[in-house]
């Protein structure tokens, strides 16, 4: 009887050990595994003034060859104009429905009796979402408020393209006489600075 009890004891222990080993083996691996991936997007907002020549322009009021002797210079007379520069930009913002705008600031404008008027003309766009809505068809740089809105409704993912002659928005400047009776040149030795800012609406 002692031997039978001993054998039973050994069998029970063996079964318990084997059962424990099988539980450990099953716990160490399975047919499925997983981990998490977290996504982050960096916002890209790039804008530049580009030109096929020089982005710093000269509005030269040279009327010597455009007038005849005795002809008047009136309020509204265009003294000079330039349309060489363009706005290019690339935007990548992962937030849906975000739109962007372009504002303009003017500094160091001197003198009296004249003004620079700014208008923009849409060109070709490599991505259709880059073509926004023109808020201000004609902006007086002398009387413009700070951060005057020029353009809006630009998509959150878009690009103008990089062609300096045809793509993006053309910047058109006209130097005009506004008050012939109180004309004072100004800015003949120092430049006017025009700053464009691209930001979320």
Q: For residue range 82-121, list pLDDT tens digits in order.
A: 999 999 999 999 998 899 999 999 999 999 999 999 999 9
Choice between 15 and 108, residue whose per-residue pLDDT is larger = 108
Closest C-alpha among 138, 122, 57 to residue 88: 122
Start-to-end CA span in the chain (Å): 93
Pairing of strands 169-177, 85-92: antiparallel
pLDDT at 20 over 80: no
pLDDT at 46 over 80: yes
Q: What is the pLDDT of residue 6?
A: 54
Choice between 67 and 128, residue whose per-residue pLDDT is larger = 128
Q: What is the pLDDT of residue 132?
A: 96
Check: pTM over 0.85? Answer yes or no. no
Residue 178 neighbours by CB distance under 10 Å: 17
Task: Collect all residues with Cβ–Cβ distance below 8 Å to 25 and sequence separation of at least 6.
Answer: none
Do the Cβ atoms of 83 and 134 come closer than 8 Å? no
CATH architecture of the domain covering 44-200: Sandwich (2.60)
């Amino acid at each position: 009887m002692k031997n039978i009890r001993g054998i039973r004891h050994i069998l029970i222990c063996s079964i318990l050990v084997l059962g424990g080993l099988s539980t450990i083996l099953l716990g160490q691996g399975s047919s499925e595994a997983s981990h998490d991936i977290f996504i982050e997007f960096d916002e890209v907002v790039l804008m530049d003034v580009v030109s096929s020549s020089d982005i710093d322009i000269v509005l030269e009021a040279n009327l010597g060859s455009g007038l005849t002797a005795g002809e008047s210079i009136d309020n509204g007379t265009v003294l000079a104009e330039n349309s060489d520069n363009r706005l290019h930009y690339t935007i990548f913002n992962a937030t849906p429905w975000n739109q962007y705008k372009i504002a303009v600031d003017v500094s160091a404008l001197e003198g009296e009796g004249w003004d620079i008027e700014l208008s923009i003309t849409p060109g070709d766009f490599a991505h259709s979402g880059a073509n926004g809505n023109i808020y201000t068809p004609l902006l007086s740089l002398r009387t413009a408020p700070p951060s005057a809105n020029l353009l809006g409704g630009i998509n959150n993912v878009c690009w103008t393209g990089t062609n300096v002659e045809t793509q993006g928005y053309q910047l058109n400047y006209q130097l005009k006489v506004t008050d012939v009776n109180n004309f004072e040149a100004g800015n003949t030795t120092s430049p006017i600075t025009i700053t464009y800012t691209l930001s979320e609406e």
